[in-house]
Amino acid sequence: MRDEQCIFCKIANGEIPSKTIYEDEDFRVILDLEPAAKGHSLILPKNHYRNLLELPDETAANAIVLAKKLAIQMKDKLKCDGLNVVQNNEEVAGQTVFHFHMHLIPRYKDDNQKIDWEKSKPSQEELEAIKNEIIG
Ligand code: 5GP
Ligand code: ZN
């Protein structure tokens, strides 16, 4: 399952070279070209799925297990102090490449990076209404 127009399909399947830190039958993990921090990596399935909403359950499960394994490896090897796992879906949410990927962003004390959003303060009633909208 490949999309001929998709750059991450080409990278994941080795047609375009990348700095690969992990590869198996289903995934390639590469260094991001514009890293937020040292070691910023992208977990790419070799098959093409637009984003999380299209990802098969088994691939989703394997991706998070792989993220955990690499997080432990990064903490050990890069001596990072923490790590963000980021995954954007659709343009409004910051997705710029429409082939599912999971960002692994090692974090270092005083790295001055921000992975942030504006917080709001809904009332209990508003939260109740939202809860009902989602589950109703
Ligand atoms: P998104 O914004 O879609 O969640 O993340 C896309 C990421 O892919 C960005 O962090 C961007 O720097 C990275 N990226 C885009 N094109 C390439 C590429 O050709 N090679 C690599 N290694 N990273 C890329
Ligand atoms: Zn693709």
* pLDDT by 10-residue block (mean), the chain, 136 residues: 95 97 98 97 98 98 98 98 98 98 97 94 98 97
The set of protein residues with a Cβ atom below 6 angstroms from ligand 1 is: 7, 18, 30-34, 42, 88, 94-97
Nearest residue by C-alpha to atom 4 in ligand 1: 95
Q: In the prediction, which pLDDT does 1 show?
A: 87
Judged on CB neighbours under 10 Å (0-12, 13-18, 19+), 6 is middle
Angle at 107 between CA 99 and CA 87, to 5 degrees: 20
Active site annotation includes 99: no
Looking up tokens 């939202």 gives 130
Of residues 8, 24, 35, the one with CA closest to residue 98? 8
